[in-house]
Amino acid sequence: MLTFLHAADLHLDSPFQSLSPDQAAERRQEQRTLLARLANTVRESKADLLFLAGDLFDGQRARPETVQILYHTLEELEAEIFLSPGNHDPWTPGSPYGRLTWPDHVHIFSTRSPERIVLPHLDAVVYGSAFTSLHRMDGPLEGFRASAEDRKMSSFGCFHGDLSSPTSRYGPVTAEQIAASGLDYLALGHSHTASGLQKAGKTWYAWPGCPEGRGFDETGDKGAYLGTLEDDGRLTLDFIPLAWRRYLVPALDITGRDPEGALDDLMAQAHPQDILRIVLTGERDEDNEPDLTALTARASGYFYSASVVDRTVLGRSLWARMEEDTLTGLFLRNMRQRLDHAAPEDKEILERAIRFGLAALEGREEPK
């Protein structure tokens, strides 16, 4: 039996442009601590192999302190380590991968064609390749198949590639190529969403996603995969959460509730280190619009970073005068028709127009 940890897409030194400069600098420092959590997982699981399937760095100009931390972290591990540079951090002679002399147990692939590394002490073989530029139209598995002799051992692949399109500029991979590879397990990188364990032909494969979210397009738990390959070919894969901070977009229904109280209930069940975009949902009265400034300030005092967005709809009482044979009724009927046929992104501004228009027709103060 062999145990392995599969991680990818760390994107160290990301800019974190949506955060303040101070928070962005703090987040980059926190990213480096991700390496320690990754290493601890390798030690605790006694993993034989560590696959790092590309995009460890967010760009080609990695900060020297980040490179140093990565080097020393990998140097201290006993596992055999395989690193496949991706489209964000391609292998070049001037890259950190090409400039430094890495420890013998750290195997960094440096060519576009698959390289082969045999591990006699583990009765295993590992194939992998590298991006050598920011794009590659050829598939890293194109025409590849492990040799018949290698298939008598435990055979692995570590590649950075994109399964989403056969014409991708980021190393297109197809299910047919995976099935033809003859590998036991294919460790892939590029997609930032964990795939779960997949199979094509007799080959198991997965993308672990990024281990630390960097924005609201990378929400929820993030981490790596811990796998075991049994001598009889059976394979298991477990997700290991590694993210220190999560990006979350919770929906908060305030129907019949005080928004501030609803927010307090949410905070009582949440982790303060997370980054939230809280979406208010449900129905509200036309004269009780949530105070987003106050709610955002309240949430920001608890979470690392937070914002509040209003996606509530106007309560049914708003339309009580819709059937009147009056200017108000005509206005409401017209606006209801427009609202029913509006695109989702236009509904909020239409609802505000209805509230302001109704207030003007009834001689009331304009809503907040």
For residues 317 and 174, membership in a common domain is answered with no
Task: Let me know whether 278 and 135 are in one domain.
Answer: no
* Residues 29 and 148 occupy one common structural domain: yes
Ordered per-residue pLDDT tens for the chain, 368 residues: 999 999 999 999 999 887 889 988 999 999 999 999 999 999 999 999 999 999 999 998 899 999 999 999 999 999 999 999 999 999 999 999 999 999 999 999 999 999 999 999 999 999 999 999 999 999 999 999 999 888 889 999 999 999 999 999 999 999 999 999 999 999 999 999 999 999 999 999 999 999 999 999 999 999 999 999 998 889 999 999 999 999 999 999 998 889 999 999 999 999 999 999 999 998 887 667 899 999 999 999 999 999 999 988 777 666 778 888 899 889 989 988 998 888 888 887 888 888 788 878 877 665 55
Same domain for 160 and 291? no
Are residues 70 and 193 part of one domain?
Answer: yes
Looking at the structure of the chain, the number of domains it has is: 2
Q: List the one residue out of 198, 147, 170, 200 whose CA is nearest residue 84.
A: 170
Residue 339 has what pLDDT?
86
Are 184 and 235 in contact by the 8 Å Cβ rule? The answer is: yes
155 and 281 housed in the same domain = no
* Together in a domain, 12 and 141: yes
Count CB-CB contacts under 10 A for residue 215. Answer: 14
Which domain, by its residues, includes 329? 247-361
Same domain, 186 and 276: no
Q: Which two tokens stand for residue 295?
A: 């709610």
170 and 153 fall within a common domain: yes
79 and 150 share a domain?
Answer: yes
Distance of CA 174 to the CA centre of its chain: 22
Which of 241, 264, 290 terminates a domain? The answer is 241
Q: Are residues 333 and 235 in the same domain?
A: no
Q: Both 230 and 279 in a single domain?
A: no
* pTM (global) more than 0.75: yes
Determine the Cα angle at 203 with ends 197 and 208, to 5°: 30
Residue 135, domain CATH = 3.60.21.10
